Structure 1
């Protein structure tokens, strides 16, 4: 049923492409139209739902035919694989969108909004219905959930392995379980924790009187990461830890 509902997207793309195929367009003109118009037509649906794999392939097929065919009734050979053309120009491609990957990226953007704007209407509705007593990262998909919620969880799963913390007051980030050692890479301590420090927060490495690193605690717990940790600057005004 989901596939039938979204079939109109493919028909619209093909109809739009058919109207342009009769014109004499240069490769640069085709590239501009494909990137700016045809690839953007399913964006609204992809930002809300996970499109079926078969539908993504049909959309991809319509884009391929527009690029290679000079007329709607002439089917030419595709000399270069679409997977190569979706690479960036720096990597030898043309920068076209991979439909399935872009669908996942838009769903991840939706999950990011729910995570960072918990007071927005969408976040409040979804939290009240699907994860009222836990965090979005621990939410699950019950058998009766909507297709929209399943799409949000697909985006959440894409985010989860790449979420880190920018340290503020240190009260939210876990020393051993979260990525907090860098704002540009996914890094966390890999040494086994001691029994007393297994659940310690980053704030446990601060001096008790102010938000400054306690060099002695850092040296005792993570001596091999001391220089890296001491170079991190916590919030002086007590701002909360921030997801990045």
Structure 2
């Protein structure tokens, strides 16, 4: 197990922090890990006595803590956009954000045709973050009613259904009375 974690799982880690690996490559790496764990020799296949899903469980849940390569790649890629969101004034943030999303937010920008593989990896990590990030309402000026997750503090939710044409640009601040800072019921 030490050999699996220290060598086979760690070798692609640096690449996975920068680039989104193709699913086929992730499956190949995963296959090498499983075959190393289960087989006696490369040409002698043995019975899999423990399901792979059980091996990938954390140790405190009864597993061995082996990482799923594709999920691990996504987690490593999500760290960079998170750092860019938390500290946009860092050197990395200034360079990347000024090059790729000069006029829009990192969470909303699109990949230009000439984007590097590194930037495409950052955008793949951004999609992981977008699934779990939500807004704290505050004054609501930056929150789009129909697009942003703002309805719940326990799970990320936005209104369901299509937005009426006349209300597509509606912000949460439009739903709050500016005088009393309470919900405008009209």
Note the residue ranges of structure 2 that are not aligned, 5 or more in a row: none
- Which one has a bigger Cα radius of gyration? 1
Where does 1:1-244 land on structure 2 (aligned, <5 Å)?
A: 30=1, 32-35=2-5, 38-69=8-39, 75-79=44-48, 80-88=50-58, 93-190=63-160, 197-209=167-179, 212-214=181-183, 217=184, 219-220=185-186
> C-alpha separation between the residues in 1 aligned to 2:133 and 2:148?
8
What is the aligned length? 185
Offset at residue 85 of structure 1 (A)? 3.0
Q: Distance in 2 between matches of 1:147 and 1:204?
A: 40
CA 1:191 to 1:88, structure 2 compared with 1: closer, same or farther past 3 Å?
A: same
Q: Which runs of 5+ in 1 are unaligned?
A: 1-29, 221-244
Cα RMSD of the aligned pairs, angstroms, is 3.0
TM-score, length basis structure 2: 0.78
CA-to-aligned-CA distance 1:79-111 (integer Å, 9 cap, x gap): 145355334568775432110111012112212
TM score, norm. by length of structure 1 = 0.62
